[in-house]
Amino acid sequence: MLLTTLILGLVLGGTYALLALGLTIQYGIARIMNLAYGELTLLAGFALVALFKGLGLPPLAALLLIAPAGYALGWVLYAVMMRPLVARSGGTGRLEVDSILATFGLLFLLQGIMLVLFGANFTSISYLDRGVDILGVSVALNRLIAFGICVVVGGALTLALTRSRWGLVMRAVALTPGSAPLVGIDVNRIARQGFALGTALAATGGASIAMYQTFSATDGVVFTMRALIIVIMGGVGNVTGALIAGFALGLVETFVATAIDPGLTLAATFAIFLAVLLWRPQGLFGRA
Amino acid sequence: MTRFLPAPALALLAALPLWLSDYGLGLMIGMVTYVTLASAWALFSGHTRYVSLATVAFYGTGAYTVAVLNEALPYPLVLLCAGGIGAAMALVVGLSTLRLAGVYFVIFTFGLAELVRQLITWYEVNVTGTLGRYIFLDVTAKGIYWQMLGLGALTIGLTAWIHRHRLGLALRVIGDDEVVAAHSGINLARTKLIAFTLSATIITLAGAIASPRWVYVEPSIVFNPTVSFLTVIMALLGGANRLWGPLLGAVPLFLLFEWLSVDFPDTYPIFLGLLFIGVVFAFPNGVLAGVESLRHRLKERRA
């Protein structure tokens, strides 16, 4: 029983960690608090379902299309919608309020588009839905694949951010956007890349969720909320923190769902959030 | 002159149901409700720029309180309970988030409606065993209209009073620069908490007053996120830091949304989203401020 919760929780936590990673990059590097993040995730999920059901494309191949498409969408969104707000704010705290409001509008826009295109019903696909035995616990193969995607993508990104020159530039912008231009960094370009990368991660996360979970067009708020809480738990902009907090949240949710009641998972998430706010508002692992 | 205008206008509005049809009265109730919600929202968020996305969490709580208590207690007591519950909820949210940076408050309020909705659903399904309740109250549409009108007038009056009071000044300084505010001796957390609790209590009462219109109440009906969304966009359009701004935004937008939701029920959220983004880009400080700066510029050109 305990082992089941542990393994299922870790598998779920992997997806959450990936989602939070995208959000923490968007907020940490591009300085955009993206409330439409969950809607972008769902959009990718619907795209996966449509590609699978409509064209018969296997989900893993569809993922190779969806992730770059997410990057492109993020790039365009930043260039068209966020950049004018950044320019208007001129580096003041104004950007935070403006980006919150603008993405709140985007949330309804995307939700409306999804409701028109895909309807309000729950959607799911049956893909590799057979059990695999891990340490005596039966885990669905599709969940394992989703978990694998998260580990590969999350691990690669963490390595790139901490070891490569590109990662160094990203971290420089995250740390002090004001001084980054002094060493020849184009902050606007890096912020756009960060936002696009975050959207690509949202798309990857959404596509892997669609492989094993049912979802509907109005679920976005819950996904955004989870990602936001993980980001705060891990410390804003802290990639490793987000990964650890993501797994922790997956474990807690699975534990609450199996031991208490599945209807209380969001309440558990909020309880953690409240505890973090009261105890360590800078995040369990501090800012990056 | 303009200072005395509101009184006859209010009297005229109060007399309106004598001539209106049922449909017209329903429309007026909706409009006055949104004027109240937008004004109450702006009472806290207008000056401080702490964006609250939890309007419907309080509004729905008010409605649900009436649904639960309407047969157990007399009506005035039910309203009192609703206000009390709203204030208590606001205190919990405020105490845990308003001491921190604004973004934590936004995030908490963002998920609050969904949390309350899920908690009530869980409680009703698992503990009471009935999801969905009926409201049988001896309140006519006219009665609802007059109560809501009173609450709306009270909200705008309260806002006007706060604007001239120390509290309003403190809120304005906080909105401009929190560090300066702290250094000039303003108790940041307490000031924000008072304003937020006032605003949330009014919103909860609005939900309680409007609830008999529904007759049948269910968590998914009363916790409709569109309410939060409309409230914010209305206040922003008119100008959230102006006394009459929320009213100015609420009236035209309410009529527009009524028309849209009837004629384009499916694509309606898309219009909402586009309009919202448009307002954020075109009128960052609201129409009133936009008109003022335009007038200012014309005057400068003439001089």
Hey, is the C-beta of B140 within 8 angstroms of any chain A C-beta? Answer: no
**Mean local confidence (pLDDT), A176-201:** 88
- CA A260, A265, A270, A273 torsion-angle sign: positive
Across the interface, whether the CB atoms of B270 and A109 are under 8 A apart is answered yes
The mean pLDDT of chain A is: 85
Lowest mean pLDDT among A62-66, A92-96, B47-51: A92-96
Place of tokens 């590109």: A166
- Which residues of chain A does B236 touch, with a Cβ-Cβ cutoff of 8 Å? 101
**pLDDT tens digits for range B174-213:** 888 888 888 988 888 889 999 999 999 999 999 999 888 8
Residue B134 β-bridge partners: B216
Across the interface, whether the CB atoms of A105 and B267 are under 8 A apart is answered no
**pLDDT tens digits for range B215-265:** 888 888 888 888 888 898 888 888 888 888 888 888 888 998 888 888 887
Q: Closest chain B residue to A102 measured between Cα atoms?
A: B277
Of the residues A108, A111, A117, A253, the best mutation for testing chain B's interface (the one with the most B CB atoms within 10 Å of its CB) is: A108
Closest Cβ opposite residue A100 in set B106, B273, B279:
B106
Of the residues B110, B125, B232, the best mutation for testing chain A's interface (the one with the most A CB atoms within 10 Å of its CB) is: B110
- Which residues of chain A does B108 touch, with a Cβ-Cβ cutoff of 8 Å? 273, 277
C-alpha separations of B303 from B289, B294, B295 in Å? 21, 14, 12
pLDDT reported for residue A195: 92
Hey, is the C-beta of B126 within 8 angstroms of any chain A C-beta? Answer: yes
- Cβ-in-10-Å burial (0-12, 13-18, 19+) of B224 comes to middle
**Mean local confidence (pLDDT), B130-139:** 80
Across the interface, whether the CB atoms of A112 and B108 are under 8 A apart is answered no
Across the interface, whether the CB atoms of B284 and A98 are under 8 A apart is answered yes
B101-B102-B106-B109 Cα dihedral, nearest 10 degrees: 80
Closest Cβ opposite residue A225 in set B111, B266, B284:
B111
Asked if the model's pLDDT at residue A287 lies above 60, the reply is: no
pLDDT reported for residue A196: 94
Quick one: DSSP state of residue B124? I
Asked if the model's pLDDT at residue A79 lies above 60, the reply is: yes
Asked if the model's pLDDT at residue A91 lies above 70, the reply is: no
Binned at pLDDT 50, 70 and 90, residue A77 comes out as very high
Fold exhibited by the domain B6-302: ABC transporter involved in vitamin B12 uptake, BtuC (1.10.3470)
Hey, is the C-beta of B108 within 8 angstroms of any chain A C-beta? Answer: yes
Query: Which residues lie below 8 Å from residue A128, measured CB to CB, with a gap of 6+?
Result: A140, A141, A142, A145, A211
Full DSSP string of B207-226: HHHHGGGTSEE-HHHHT-TH
User: What residue spans define the domains of chain B?
Assistant: 6-302
Binned at pLDDT 50, 70 and 90, residue B1 comes out as very low
Binned at pLDDT 50, 70 and 90, residue A2 comes out as confident
**Mean local confidence (pLDDT), A256-270:** 82
Asked if the model's pLDDT at residue A133 lies above 60, the reply is: yes
Query: Which residues lie below 8 Å from residue B63, measured CB to CB, with a gap of 6+?
Result: B207, B208, B210, B211, B214, B217, B222
Q: Which two tokens stand for residue A229?
A: 């809480």
Place of tokens 């009436």: B66
Report B:78-97 residues touching A (Cβ under 8 A).
Answer: 96-97
**Mean local confidence (pLDDT), A172-186:** 84
Closest Cβ opposite residue B274 in set A109, A229, A263:
A109
Closest Cβ opposite residue A277 in set B104, B232, B236:
B104
Closest CA to A231 of A242, A220, A247, A244: A242
Could you write out the three-class secondary structure of chain A? CHHHHHHHHHHHHHHHHHHHHHHHHHHHHCCCCCCCHHHHHHHHHHHHHHHHHHHCCCHHHHHHHHHHHHHHHHHHHHHHHHHHHHHHHCCCCHHHHHHHHHHHHHHHHHHHHHHHHHCCCCECCCCCCCEEEECCEEEEHHHHHHHHHHHHHHHHHHHHHHHCHHHHHHHHHHHCCCCHHHHCCCHHHHHHHHHHHHHHHHHHHHHHHHHHCCECCCCHHHHHHHHHHHHHHHCCCCHHHHHHHHHHHHHHHHHHHHHCCHHHHHHHHHHHHHHHHHHCCCCCCCCC
**Mean local confidence (pLDDT), B25-46:** 90
Phi-psi region of A137 (alpha: psi -120 to 50; beta: other; left: phi over 0): beta
**pLDDT tens digits for range B71-90:** 888 888 888 999 999 999 99
pLDDT reported for residue A36: 92
- CA A11, A239, A232, A93 torsion-angle sign: negative
> What is the rounded CA–CA span in Å between residue A147 and residue A137?
15
Q: How far is A142 from chain B (nearest CA, A)?
A: 28
**pLDDT tens digits for range A14-48:** 888 888 989 988 988 888 888 999 999 999 999 98
